Amino acid sequence: MRVNGEPYPHRAGLTLHALLRDLGIEPERVAVAVGDDFYPGARVPDRPLEPDDVIEIVRIIGGG
């Protein structure tokens, strides 16, 4: 499993909500992609994660 470009240890039963909790991330402040599925932070489903999932967790910052 990869999270934001880095390898991340997968464990049996890991879900998206649990991952965000592990990372200390408040879902409403971010957006999440699992593969080609895109979720607003407030509507992140508690879907099970697979060992080969590619996950992006992003936020808005200042930019031009």
Partner 1 sequence: MTDPPLSDPLLLGGRTFTSRLMLGTGKFRDLALMRDVLEVSETQIVTVAIRRVELRSPGHVGLLDALDLCRYQLLPNTAGCRTAEEAVRVARLARAATGVSWVKLEVIADPRWLLPDPVGTLRAAELLVAEGFTVLPYVQPDAVLARALERVGCAAVMPLASPIGTGRGLRTGDLLHTVLDGAGVPTVVDAGLGVPSDAAQALEAGADAVLVNTAIAEARDPVAMARAFALGVRAGRLGYLAGRMAQRACAHPSSPPQGVPRLPDPEQPA
Helix (H, G, I), strand (E, B) or coil at 36: coil
Q: How far is the CB of 17 from partner 1 (least distance, A)?
A: 15
Q: How far is the CB of 44 from partner 1 (least distance, A)?
A: 9
**With respect to partner 1, which residue has the nearer C-beta, 28 or 50?**
28
Contact 20, 44 (CB under 8 A): yes
Q: How far apart are CA 26 and CA 6, in angstroms?
A: 20
Tokens of 30: 């971010």
Q: How far is the CB of 42 from partner 1 (least distance, A)?
A: 9
Chain positions contacting partner 1, by CB under 8 A: 3-6, 23-25, 29-33, 38-41, 56-64
